[in-house]
């Protein structure tokens, strides 16, 4: 079953009068439960593609259909809901809120998800337990290692139980052994929970081992 479809997807950034093409005519299909790795040189448009699928950005032209819904037809409010319940995003730089503890970072996503107070605490602890950070609930991001921080970010991405996980170079800031721990966690989510995963990476070898399919980008096009 196809969960994501892009048709002739185009994204251009405008810098004054100069138009910067980031994505050029991207047409791909992603099946439910697939583990896809996106590779390509720096500036090839990997992050742009992920941001479009994640609903953080809107395409300049073309269609983007996720779970039979055309994202370009959604209002800003509906798009926020989409980000909340359909996709979970993970970034290279973790993007945790520095002033909040691990549990509070997860709680924030649960607040947006409309989870009531008592339930929130329980769910957050449960999620931290699942990523193996049971004893780090009250630590702030600055008190966590890179690997731990990324696991908190993964737990947060799972807070509202989305169908799709979008990971933009999740191991980019980590050493190789920690990286493989994170990749293992993603594989586990894919295999055990059936999450559809799209992961941007530079490590083609590792990507080849774990993913069902590779999408190679060059100058904003699939090659």
Partner 1 sequence: MSNLWRTKLRSVLTILGVVIGIGALSSMVSFGVGMQKNLTDAFKKNDLFTSLNVTARSVNLEEISSGNLSNLNEKLQEPVTALNDSVVEMIRKIPGVVVAFPEIRFPVKLRFRDKETNLTLSAVPVGMKSFYPFSEIKKGQFFKNDSSFQLLIREKTLQDMGFKLKDNPEDTSAISGKYILLDTDSVIDSAIDIISKDIDLRGILANPFMVLMSQRRLPFKDTVIPFKLTGIIPEREGFGFDRFGGGVFVPLETSKRIPNLGFDNVWDLLGEDLPGDKYGSVYVRVNDMKMTKAVVDTLKNKGLNVFAFSEELKEIKRAFMIMDSLLGAIGLIALVVAALGIINTMLMSILERTREIGIMKSIGGSEAEIRIIFFVEAASIGLIGAVFGLGLGWLVTRIANAVMNSQLKPQDLPAVDLFSFPLWLILGAIAFSVLISLAAGLYPAIRAARVDPVKALRHD
- Which chain residues interact with ligand ATP by CB under 6 A? 13, 15, 20, 22, 40, 42-48
Which runs of E-coded beta strand occur in 32-128? 35-40, 61-66, 69-70, 87-91
Alpha carbon distances (Å) from 146 to 64, 174, 187, 203: 33, 6, 19, 18
Q: Provide the minimum distance between the beta carbon of 173 and ligand ATP in the complex, in angstroms, as a whole number.
A: 12
Q: 176-193 vs 146-157: helix axis angle to the nearest 10? A: 20
As a whole number of angstroms, the distance between CA 144 and CA 122 comes to 21
147 makes contact, choosing from partner 1, Mg ion, ligand ATP, none, with CB < 5 to 8 Å by partner type, with: none
- Which of 45, 54 has the CB closer to ligand ATP? 45
- Which of 87, 109 has the CB closer to ligand ATP? 87
Residue 148 belongs to what H/E stretch? helix 146-157
Binding of Mg ion by 47 (CB under 5 A): yes
Q: Provide the minimum distance between the beta carbon of 38 and ligand ATP in the complex, in angstroms, as a whole number.
A: 8
Binding of Mg ion by 44 (CB under 5 A): no
Contacts with partner 1 by CB under 8 A lie at 51, 54, 56-57, 76-77, 80-81, 83-85, 88-89, 91, 93, 95-97, 99-100, 108-109, 112-113, 156-157, 159-160
160 makes contact, choosing from Mg ion, ligand ATP, partner 1, none, with CB < 5 to 8 Å by partner type, with: partner 1
45 makes contact, choosing from Mg ion, partner 1, ligand ATP, none, with CB < 5 to 8 Å by partner type, with: ligand ATP
In b/e form, how buried is each residue of 156-180, taking b as 16+ CB within 10 angstroms?
bbbbbebbbbbbbbbbbbbeeebbb
Collapsed DSSP state (helix, strand, coil) of residue 96: coil
Q: Provide the minimum distance between the beta carbon of 107 and Mg ion in the complex, in angstroms, as a whole number.
A: 28
- Which of 66, 167 has the CB closer to Mg ion? 167
159 makes contact, choosing from ligand ATP, Mg ion, partner 1, none, with CB < 5 to 8 Å by partner type, with: partner 1
- For the chain, percent helix, then strand, then coil, each to nearest 5? 40, 30, 30
Q: Provide the minimum distance between the beta carbon of 165 and Mg ion in the complex, in angstroms, as a whole number.
A: 16
- Identify the CA nearest to 49 among candidates 179, 169, 163, 209: 169
As a whole number of angstroms, the distance between CA 41 and CA 43 comes to 6
Under the rule (CB under 5 A), what is the footprint of Mg ion? 47
């Amino acid at each position: 079953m196809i969960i994501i479809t892009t048709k002739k997807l185009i994204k251009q950034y405008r810098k004054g009068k100069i138009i910067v093409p980031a994505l050029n005519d991207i047409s791909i299909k992603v099946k439910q439960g697939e583990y896809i790795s996106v590779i390509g040189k720096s500036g090839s448009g990997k992050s742009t593609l992920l941001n479009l699928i994640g609903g953080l950005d809107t395409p300049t032209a073309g269609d983007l259909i996720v779970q039979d819904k055309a994202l370009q037809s959604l209002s800003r409010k509906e798009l926020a809901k989409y980000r909340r319940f359909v996709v979970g995003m993970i970034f290279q730089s973790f993007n945790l809120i520095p002033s909040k503890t691990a549990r509070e970072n997860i709680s924030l996503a649960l607040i947006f998800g409309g989870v009531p107070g008592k339930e929130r605490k329980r769910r957050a602890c449960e999620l931290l337990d699942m990523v193996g950070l049971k004893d780090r609930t009250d630590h702030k991001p600055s008190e966590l290692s890179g690997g731990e921080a990324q696991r908190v970010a993964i737990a947060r991405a799972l807070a509202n139980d989305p169908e799709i996980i979008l990971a933009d170079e999740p191991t980019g800031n980590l050493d190789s052994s920690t990286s493989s721990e994170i990749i293992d966690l993603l594989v586990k989510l894919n295999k055990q929970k059936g999450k559809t995963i799209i992961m941007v990476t530079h490590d083609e070898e590792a990507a080849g081992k774990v993913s069902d399919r590779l999408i190679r980008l060059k100058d904003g096009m699939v090659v």
